[in-house]
Structure formats: C-alpha cells, structure tokens
Amino acid sequence: MNSITDSAIVAALGRQLNRTVARQQVAASNLANLDTPGYRAQDVQFAETLDASLHPAVGSSDVPILTETAGVAIRRDGNSVQLDREMLNMTRAAGDFSAAQTALAAKFRLVRYAINEGR
C-alpha cells in the first residue's frame, strides 16, 4: 500500500506551482506576439507534462512540453493568437497557482503549529 508522506505532498504542490507558472509564461509569450505576423500560439501539453513529472527519466528537467495550439483560427497574417483565449488561460493559471499556494501555506502552518505547541 502506498502511503502519502509530507514530502510527497510538498513535492506535488511544488510541481503544480511550476506547471502553473509555465502556463502563465506561455500565455504571456503568446500575448506578447499578438501582432507578430506568422506567429503560432503555443500551449503547454498537460497530459505529457504530467506524465513526465510523474515518471521522470534520468536527467530530465521540469521543462513543460509545448505544442502549437490546435483548432484556432489563423488570421490573414498567419498569426493564431486570440486575445480572449490567452487572457482566459492566464486567469485559469493564476487561480490554479493560488489554490496550490494556499494548500502549501496551510501545510506549513500545520508544521509551525506542531513546532510551537510542542514546547
């Protein structure tokens, strides 16, 4: 039976924070290239990134896997960035970051409480 340890919880929350930061960076990069002719919007591939973080290979890094955004309209200048979509992606990533940060803060409050009450 697998047991969930404190270090596993903290590591998982850390990975979640890193993934949400990566999603915000990709959305910001897409927004920065909103008017760049020929630029194709990118997305962080959730399934592949999750699989890589759950089953890390030797020497692998925590770099997100990026792909071109599928199913979006391409403008006449060849750009596929959509302002509303990118703003929604940034908002979702910010919410996910806040949730992971709140859980991590609660975990450390429990540790601090255990230390202070032990006196």
Question: How many structural domains is the chain composed of?
Answer: 1
Q: Which pLDDT band holds residue 38 (cuts at 50, 70, 90)?
A: very high
Residue 119 has pLDDT above 90, yes or no: no
Domain membership of residue 1 (yes or no) is no
pLDDT, residue 8, reads 87
- Paired tokens of 41: 């919007």
State the pairing for strand pair 66-68/42-44. antiparallel
Return the percentage of the chain with pLDDT > 70, whole number.
82
Q: What is the pTM of this model?
A: 0.76
pLDDT, residue 71, reads 86
Structural domain for 71, as ranges: 6-117
Domain membership of residue 100 (yes or no) is yes
Beta carbons of 13 and 21 less than 8 angstroms apart = no
Could you read off the pLDDT of 18-37 as tens digits, one per residue?
999 999 999 999 999 999 99
